[in-house]
Amino acid sequence: MTQKQICNVLEIVRWLCIIAGFNLAYFLGKDPAGQLHIIMPWFVIPLSGLTGIESVWFGKVASELSGYGYNPAYQRQSGMNNIAVAITAIIVSFFEWGTHAEIAVLMIMLIFLTLSACNHAYSAIKDKNYALKNLMRPLMTALLLAFTVPFIIRALS
């Protein structure tokens, strides 16, 4: 399997985990806090963790798929940050630190993805970067926010 194929598989796995997380939360979550307890690891670990793995080990191909130039030091640093967020999600889930800790970790990831989506949109407009992955980031982030924010609001109520 080529690195490009691996990156494409990682992208598909990320979104399949999101779909699984929503379904598990809907069917297994007994209340809003229980639903959020399911959603947080199913979202943060694949989105941050797999993105981090992609950046650290497949950074050149990942940057090409996004239509960006390759900067290995930046790719590694950004990837390690994403891996740190995923590890934090694992710790928060494993030690059951509670709804507020889960929301904090989820919010870090969502804010990062929102800022990243803005950067991708800027790149599409200013730099005419029409790579599919670059164009999809703002759309997929908007969908993720639209479906996730209500869970957060209900869990805080």
pLDDT digits (tens), the chain, 157 positions: 999 999 999 999 999 999 999 999 999 999 999 999 999 999 999 999 999 999 999 999 988 888 888 888 888 999 999 999 999 999 999 999 999 999 999 999 999 999 999 999 999 999 998 988 888 999 999 999 999 999 999 999 8
Residues 46-69, buried b or exposed e (16+ Cβ, 10 A)? bbbbbbbbbbbebbebbbbbbbbe
Residue 149 CB neighbour total at 10 angstroms: 12
Domain that holds residue 79: 3-156
